[in-house]
């Protein structure tokens, strides 16, 4: 007597299993599993080690990187350069200085090839911006950077995913903007350092730009002197997170020899 009902029920189950949403849960579980496979990357807005102050310099290399390096060396201190490939100048034209700073233990990190707004780019353009600078780092230093700072502080989920897939571990933003790229006077910048120094031992991660002459000739000497007075430890971006120098790079070989390929053309 129940056989016709069982036949109807079986037919209904067959119909349901053919509907588009019938395997929704399976797709959600598969999607969740895939998300777990995506490499993670750390967004950094500030240092985490108390009493550390990381001064960082974007947009080079240009004219004053060696001056910056010498200022830190004089105080037995280190800094971080977020370099472009072809912004104010071509990185290959400054290869000797970049290598000298690297050998002096300053940290060399990526700021993209041409200082584009990478938060607005598609995957092909993002990969091109990253790869061209990675090639330059490989030729000049024999390493690929693991640290990145997005131009304009602009980033997207796509950019973060691609960075992680390419082996980057940290994206550095900042808690203190010197505003030098926006035309802030030396006086405004030194007042900002005064305010920050008054917060010791709170840590800070400061954004500056090495192609801005007054930043290098006026503000930097003042900042280093004031930080010394307040007992801040002036550090690289990895030190101020408690990381090691080797965490900043993926070693891929030895530096190359300059040839006709070392060009931004």
> Residue 93's pLDDT is what?
98
Is 58 in the active site? yes
Q: Answer yes or no: are the C-beta atoms of 16 and 22 closer than 8 Å.
A: yes
| Low-confidence stretches of the chain (pLDDT beneath 70) | 1-39
| CB burial string 165-174: b at 16+ within 10 A, e below | ebebbbbbeb
Q: What is the pLDDT of residues 103-138, one digit of tens each?
A: 999 999 999 999 999 999 999 999 999 999 999 999
Degrees, nearest 5: CA angle 214-217-221: 115
Copy the structure tokens of residue 186: 């030396």
> Measured between alpha carbons, how far is residue 81 from residues 68, 119, 247 in Å?
10, 21, 15
- Which residues have a Cβ under 8 Å from the Cβ of 16 and sit 6 or more positions away? 22
Catalytic residue, candidates 180, 204, 209, 239: 209
Alpha helices in 94-212 (DSSP H): 95-103, 123-141, 157-165, 186-197
Is 209 in the active site? yes
**109: nearest Cα among 223, 205, 8:** 205
> Measured between alpha carbons, how far is residue 217 from residues 43, 180, 224 in Å?
31, 13, 12
Q: What is the pLDDT of residues 90-101, one digit of tens each?
A: 999 999 999 999
> Residue 38's pLDDT is what?
52
Catalytic residue, candidates 52, 58, 59, 170: 58
- Which residues have a Cβ under 8 Å from the Cβ of 25 and sit 6 or more positions away? none
pTM of the shown model: 0.85
Domains of the chain are 42-251 (3.20.20.370)
Distance CA 77, CA 53 (A): 11
């Amino acid at each position: 007597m129940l056989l016709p009902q069982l036949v109807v029920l079986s037919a209904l189950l067959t119909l349901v299993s053919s509907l588009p949403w019938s395997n929704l849960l399976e797709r959600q579980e598969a999607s969740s599993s895939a998300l777990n496979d995506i490499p993670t990357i750390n967004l950094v807005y500030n240092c985490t080690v108390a009493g550390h102050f990381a001064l960082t310099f974007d947009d080079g290399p240009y004219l004053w990187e060696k001056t910056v390096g010498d200022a830190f060396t004089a105080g037995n201190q280190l800094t971080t350069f977020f370099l472009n490939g072809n912004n104010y100048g071509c990185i290959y034209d400054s290869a000797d200085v970049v290598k000298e700073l690297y050998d002096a233990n300053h940290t060399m990190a990526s700021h993209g090839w041409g200082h584009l707004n990478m938060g607005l780019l598609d995957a092909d353009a993002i990969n091109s911006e990253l790869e061209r600078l990675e090639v330059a780092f490989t030729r000049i230093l024999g390493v690929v950077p693991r640290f990145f700072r997005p131009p304009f502080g602009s980033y997207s989920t796509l950019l973060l995913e691609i960075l992680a897939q390419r082996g980057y571990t940290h994206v550095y933003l900042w808690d203190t903007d010197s505003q030098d790229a926006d035309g802030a006077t030396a006086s405004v910048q030194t007042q900002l350092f005064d305010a920050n120094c008054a917060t010791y031992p709170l840590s800070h991660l400061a954004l500056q730009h090495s192609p801005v002459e007054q930043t290098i000739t006026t503000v930097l000497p003042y900042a280093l002197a004031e930080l010394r007075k307040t007992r801040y430890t002036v550090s690289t971006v990895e030190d101020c997170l408690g990381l090691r120098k080797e965490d900043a790079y993926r070693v891929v070989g030895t530096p190359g020899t300059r040839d006709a390929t070392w060009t931004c053309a």
